[in-house]
Amino acid sequence: MFLSENAHEYLQKLLEIERARGFQRLYRHLFTASSIINEILTAILEIEIEKSRSNKFFLERKREEQIFEETPLYIFIERVRSEQEIFPAAEIREIVLLSEGRRLKLTENLAVLVAGVFGGFVGALLTWAIGTHEVHSSSTIPSAPSAISEPRH
């Protein structure tokens, strides 16, 4: 499998996550999207390294004059280099980073929601506990006779 096919496979998985709905989408965004995005970025990096490595090798041979421009080998190599699969690394990187931003925003919103619900629950529990404590403590204190009594007739 070529590296670009590997990157396309991971992009397809990322697209499946984006197309999912409901709880399945939420689960996939939180737990699988980050590993897929890392794999895509790694595949793009490997593609770019391989392209630069082969270009560097060819340019070094040309500079050392091991390959002359008039030879059939040079023409063949130039044709192969021009026909190589053009992989849109910059565009794919942009799409992947956009997806990663959406995933992080979803995670942030979910964390805020959980914190709000948990904070509300704890606040309600404390309010209930304090209210219950005041009722019990006021009923257990005996009332002292008042210093000012009502006049008796």
Residue 148: inside a domain, yes or no?
Answer: no
Residue 68: inside a domain, yes or no?
Answer: yes
Residue 129: inside a domain, yes or no?
Answer: no
Residue 128: inside a domain, yes or no?
Answer: no
Q: Which domain holds residue 19?
A: 3-98
**Structurally, how many domains does the chain consist of?**
1
Helical H segments across the chain, by residue range: 3-19, 22-31, 33-63, 72-83, 89-140
Q: What is this structure's pTM?
A: 0.54
* Predicted pLDDT at 11: 83
Residue 37: inside a domain, yes or no?
Answer: yes
Residue 81: inside a domain, yes or no?
Answer: yes
Q: Are 44 and 37 in contact (CB under 8 A)?
A: no
pLDDT tens for the chain, 153 residues: list them: 455 677 778 888 888 888 888 888 888 888 888 888 888 888 888 777 777 776 776 667 666 666 666 777 667 777 776 666 566 777 778 888 888 888 889 889 999 999 999 999 999 999 988 888 765 555 555 555 555 656 665
- Per DSSP, the three-state class of 69 is coil
Crossing angle of helices 22-31 and 33-63, in 10° steps, is 50
